[in-house]
Structure 1
């Protein structure tokens, strides 16, 4: 009897991506190429339960920017999976849906050390830890609780980080400043030619 098929290991990098910037892309590419992940999906969140929604650009505008940023990179993929799920989006519900939709995939969460520190506030976070590996990129200034440092499902990586925030980019665009090099060139060209974030 043949052994069970090896599942494709997919890293899920959730975010508002409002807009996606080079800091996001560096982390996504690092996780896709320097870990045992087969691919990283950038999951565009329509509404983070812990963030106000009024500053978000439209869902499909943000998804389009992520697709532009990825380009032809086969290691990365933009996902709108949460757009059709009940709002607000909870990671545990999204994972339940993905496991049913893609039974041949194994899903891993990607998050920063800052998110790990607030994981206890997430819906059913105990199930997340029980059923899924979590790949954490360390962030300066955030101490990792000891029980996570020793948790068998939590793995830490020293991914290169850039001190760039989406809010800084939005403010720069509103004030008429160039954001070239803070975002990938296709994203920059699109933002230059559109009204997105300009008002």
Structure 2
């Protein structure tokens, strides 16, 4: 069985924090591959994304082209509408049998898991990998047992980068160099993304 970690999100833009979380989870949990799945409309952030789906997918491709264990998947962008994880997992299981899927989630999102659309059903189909940052411990006590039983926590080195901050810095004409991979930086600059 091929073990695949799924990294969902807007990736608006993708940055080194996303890549570090993916690699940390891959190494700690013995995953064979990490699939980055840009959302069309994220259910928990309905006012995002800022850049279009094709642009965000292109940035993901540019960010991961050096890593043989990373892939970009456009299933949520192709499907359109609100990007519910349960729909994505069911579609990926049908398209790619023989794979065991795990969702990789930042510590800020782990406590939201029980509010995810059809979360109990999702927990029967996937396991969860909570990426814990130093100073941001994951508190499992408030999680239902069906999530706790399917949750593995891995510790990630501290890196304070967010897509929100990157967009804000660009709108203020401040540098984002070394916050995103060089190919993503060049793409953002060449296309004038996130300028005010």
Instruction: Decide: shared fold, TM above 0.5.
Output: yes
Written as runs of structure 1 = structure 2, the 5 A alignment for 1:1-199 is 7-53=1-47, 55-139=49-133, 140-141=135-136, 143-146=138-141, 148=143, 151-199=148-196
Report Cα offsets for 1:21-51 as digits up to 9, x if no partner.
1111111122223321000011111110111
Shift of residue 137, structure 1, vs aligned partner? 0.8
CA 1:98/1:65 → structure 2, altered by over 3 Å: closer, same or farther?
A: same
What is the RMSD of the two structures over their aligned residues, measured on CA atoms? 1.8
Contact 1:26 1:161 in 2 (8 A): no
Give the gaps of 5 or more residues in structure 2. Answer: none
**Where does structure 1 differ by over 6 angstroms across 4 or more consecutive aligned residues?**
none
Q: Which moved more, 1:61-70 or 1:84-93?
A: 84-93
Distance 2:62 2:101 in 1: 24
**CA 1:112–1:86 in structure 2 vs 1: closer, same or farther (change >3 Å)?**
same
TM-score (norm 2): 0.91
Distance 1:119 1:69, change over 3 A: same
Match of 1:146, SS? coil
Look up the match of 1:3.
none
SS in 2 for 1:34: helix
Aligned residues: 193
* 8 Å Cα contact 2:33-2:69 kept in structure 1: yes
Q: Check conservation: 1:67, 1:78, Cα contact below 8 A.
A: yes
- Unaligned runs of 5+ residues in structure 1 are 1-6
Question: Which entry has the higher C-alpha Rg, 1 or 2?
Answer: 1
The two structures have a TM-score, normalised by structure 1, of 0.89
Distance change >3 Å, CA 172–CA 86, structure 1 → 2: closer
Which secondary structure state, in structure 1, belongs to the residue aligned with residue 71 of structure 2? strand
Provide, for residues 128-172 of structure 1, a one-character-per-residue CA deviation record: whole Å limited to 9, x for no partner.
222321111114345413265973311110022311111111111
User: Displacement, 1:86?
Assistant: 4.6
